[in-house]
Chain A
Amino acid sequence: MADQKTLTFVLMDAPYENARTTTALRLMHIAAKRGHEINVFAYEGAVYLPFALQKAHPNPVHGKDAEEEDHVLPREWVAEVMAEAERNGGKVDWINCGFCVDERGAHEAIEGVRRGGPPNLVAWVGESDNVLVIPTK
């Protein structure tokens, strides 16, 4: 596609901790719908966003079982963004910071996630049309 761009996002927040995660996924989803090449460098707690062992649970306060509650799993939203990009001629290249994975034991990730480090981010800076860092606070 003629207007395809390469956009890199740097994420730092662990899932379920801050609305920054939701906004980051919203931005990536918009870019995916436009068919862009999306790079994600997940740093620190963000390596848990595509963690494969996330599991939905019932909500006793809402009085709903796990199926009725249909609890959000960030790994599913990440996978949906990846699928949306591919449907529109783009792709998501997701790198989890390897050291961050090791110290957190977050090795089990969904398909499409690979391991890397700052040199990958430096390469992406050179290849991207833009880079947005969404830091934790």
Chain B
Amino acid sequence: MSILHILETAFRGTIEEQDDTVIWTVHAMRKAGQEGSVVLQGNIVGHAVRGQDATGLQFGDHPQTNPVDLAGDMQKLMAAGVPIYVVEGDAADRGIAGADLIAGVQLIDRAGVAGLADSHDLVWHW
């Protein structure tokens, strides 16, 4: 049983949660033995961009000591055996070139999402 996770909602709650909650869930499910793959489409292609920096937030005397590291979390997810695909056209539309993305993500075209859907047992569109 394998799940294709299609993600498109970007930078939602990431500062408070200190991660992307869906990437976190996919990783937690992987640790519990669940097979799956991830597609980033729409604005969330930005989660795979190099050079993100969410450090420096501080409210009064309370700094955020563990700021979100979206790219790092995705690299850990890939290291755990979950491939991550990025819809190349969605990145290009947003001025993001392949060279701007973290190592390891795989570029696909729009029609490739349907092919991935067919090759997985379940498709979860987050």
Contact = CB atoms under 8 A, between A and B. Distances in A.
Contacts of A122: 29, 32-34
A131 interface: yes
B125 A121 contact: no
A133 interface: yes
A133 B126 contact: yes
Contacts of A131: 122, 124
Chain B, interface SS category: mixed
B12 interface: yes
A43 B9 contact: no
A126 B28 CA distance: 16
Interface string B1-19: 1010000010011000000
Interface in B1-60: 1, 3, 9, 12-13, 21-22, 25, 28-29, 31-34
A44 B33 CA distance: 22
Contacts of A137: 9, 12
Contacts of B21: 43-44
Interface of B: 1, 3, 9, 12-13, 21-22, 25, 28-29, 31-34, 122, 124-126
